[in-house]
Structure 1
Amino acid sequence: MIKPREKAPELSIKLVNDTTWKLSEQSPENFTLILFYRGKHCPVCQKQLEQLQKSLPKFTERGVNVIAISTDTEEIAKATHNEWAIDDIPLGYGLSIDEARKWGLFISSGIKQEPEFFAEPGLFLLTADSIVYWESIQSMPFGRPEFRDVLGGIDYILKADYPARGEA
């Protein structure tokens, strides 16, 4: 598990637009928000990512770069991008189970129409120099942070110069 105030693991992930996103190359004004989602099989993920799409301008206004990542294959991730209303979200795929574990994500074995193994949801807010500031990790598809709450938190953090918490 990564604690707040620790350097995030390096992350290099392929995107559905046939480019590669690297954490070490990010230079946000304030933060990078990494949203790990379960995959195309998850209707809760679709709702969450479509809400993120609607909230994207508000994150951009606050100097936050956003990416959503799953363990899905390229084919499935491209179908996700085409079928869900998430046109402006950089969508990464192919996160390995080992990489997901480095981030402290819970791993599930599939049931019904799910992949054999996949990562459960996680939200990470990283400083401009890739230090973990805020993390929210779920073991289930339910109970994810609402983006209005995350945005409100970012507003407070920036206004009050509030430090990362949870490192002790």
Structure 2
Amino acid sequence: MALQDRLDAFKADFKAGKAPYHAPAEIHPIMERATAELIASGQAARAIKAGDRAPQFTLKDQNGDDVSSADLLAQGPLVVTFYRGAWCPYCNLELQAINDALPQIRSYGANVVAISPQMAVNSRKSVRDNKLGFPVLSDVKGEVGAAFGLRFALPDYLVDLYKRLKNDLPSFNDDPSWTLPMPGRYVIGQDGIVLYSEVNPDYTHRPDPSDMFAVLEKAAAKV
């Protein structure tokens, strides 16, 4: 099943309140309002895109080890996916889909990293629960997400909703700012130039991993 089909199926169950999802119906218009406002802001169009030079980064993985984009790019192309956190079921479905595609991605000589603002303990949860074969990096204070143009502040009414739902981002992220990255996926060439980008302010929509294969194949041919 394609990733978006899986996301759509989850969304339908979530909105219908099917077990184990018992969220009150009144939350959905609030979430949809926040998504519509983020789309209308135009921020996604201002984020790093194909043809731009990717910001370099060094972040700690789930085990506390430094991971450098420069070191990974010395080995081959790099797939970078930004996600919101282990608490986000849409993000977990995306990570699982990328993990399923990992053998083919690596056949092109590429590495994969996932980046979120959450602390390492939550990154370990992401790796463990999703059985990931690639590292999950902690973007402390969302600085790398901001460099890619993905970081945004949640509106006050959404913060209030998250608090009611016990979705305590300051505790998850060790950051009081109530900010998140828009989901974004990139393929970065060895010269540091972005070859593929997909940024969507609607967190319920994610590109299929197979969308990257042609770009990765072309990048591999240049190595």
Q: TM-score range by the shorter chain?
A: 0.7 to 0.9
Count of residue pairs the alignment pairs up:
158
Question: 1:122 aligned to 2:193?
Answer: no
Identity of paired residues, percent?
22
Q: What CA distance in whole angstroms lies between the structure 2 residues aligned with 1:159 and 1:129?
A: 13
Offset of 1:105 from its aligned partner?
A: 0.7
Point out the structure with max Rg over C-alpha.
2
- Residue in 1 that maps onto 2:75: 28
Query: Structure 1 runs of 4+ off > 6 angstroms?
Result: none
CA contact (8 A) 1:32 1:65 kept: yes
CA contact (8 A) 1:77 1:93 kept: yes
TM-score (norm 2): 0.64
Question: 1:41 aligned to 2:87?
Answer: yes
TM-score (norm 1): 0.83
Q: What CA distance in whole angstroms lies between the structure 2 residues aligned with 1:143 and 1:160?
A: 30
The answer to which structure has the higher helix fraction is 2
Correspondences of 1:6-155 after superposition (within 5 Å): 6-26=52-72, 27-29=74-76, 31-86=77-132, 88-109=133-154, 110=159, 111=162, 112=165, 113=167, 115=169, 116-155=178-217
RMSD of aligned Cα (Å): 2.1
CA contact (8 A) 2:108 2:220 kept: no
- Structure 1, unaligned stretches of length 5 or more? 162-168
- Structure 2, unaligned stretches of length 5 or more? 1-46, 170-177
- Residue in 2 that maps onto 1:164: none
- Residue in 2 that maps onto 1:165: none
CA contact (8 A) 1:74 1:94 kept: no
